[in-house]
């Protein structure tokens, strides 16, 4: 309404420029997560899988570009080890948790993140962590992570990652 009444813009131009173009951009930024974030970027947590950390995609998709982390720690609601750094989604989930609309939030412990990055990462993980990074009180321990990784994965059919040097495995 503002462009129509304040700038004498035509209704159809106002609608397309404020609604349709924004929606198309949002869809494309979201789709970048499953394309660019699976092809371009660093793999600091698991170099054996395709998803990568992509700052550009994370910026455009409001925090969903930290895809290597998301695939290594799928239960972590933050999808990133960085608190609100290019991660608006975490802010909204935290807000809804404070309002009581989101609960049972789990996240990986810093120790687990460090151990997994050292064991399976490509060496691009930053050595020093900032103290102000946000971690949820219900953190998943490294032992719990190992227990989950030992269980059979019925969804993908993968049982155990016994041969980590097999390049044909994408997990």
Q: pLDDT at position 67, please?
A: 86
CA dihedral 81→105→119→130, nearest 10 degrees, is: 30
The parts of the chain modelled with pLDDT lower than 50 are 128-134, 156, 158, 161, 163, 166-171
The answer to whether the CB of 9 falls within 8 A of the CB of 86 is no
Domain ranges in the chain are: 2-150
Cα 126 from Cα 122, distance rounded (Å): 11
Q: pLDDT at position 101, please?
A: 94
The candidate with the shortest Cα–Cα distance to 90, out of 77, 102, 103, is: 77
- pLDDT, tens digit, for every residue of 58-97? 888 887 888 889 899 988 888 888 776 678 888 899 999 9
Q: pLDDT at position 168, please?
A: 45
Q: pLDDT at position 128, please?
A: 38
Tell me the whole-structure pTM to 2 decimals: 0.64
Cα 107 from Cα 82, distance rounded (Å): 11
Q: pLDDT at position 54, please?
A: 87
């Amino acid at each position: 309404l503002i462009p129509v009444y304040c700038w004498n813009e035509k209704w159809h131009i106002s609608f397309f420029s404020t609604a349709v173009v924004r929606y198309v951009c949002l869809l494309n930024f979201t789709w970048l997560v499953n394309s660019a974030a699976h092809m371009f970027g660093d793999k600091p947590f698991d170099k054996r899988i395709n998803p990568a950390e992509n700052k550009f995609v994370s910026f455009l998709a409001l925090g969903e570009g930290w895809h290597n982390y998301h695939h290594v720690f799928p239960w972590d609601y933050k999808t990133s080890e960085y608190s609100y750094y290019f991660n608006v989604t975490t802010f909204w989930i935290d807000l809804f948790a404070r309002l009581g609309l989101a609960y049972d939030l789990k996240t990986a412990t810093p120790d687990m993140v460090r151990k997994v990055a050292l064991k399976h990462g490509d060496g691009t993980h930053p050595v020093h962590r900032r103290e102000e990074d946000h971690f949820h009180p219900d953190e998943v321990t490294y032992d719990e992570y190992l227990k989950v990784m030992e269980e059979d994965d019925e969804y993908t059919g993968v049982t155990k990652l016994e041969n980590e040097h097999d390049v044909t495995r994408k997990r």
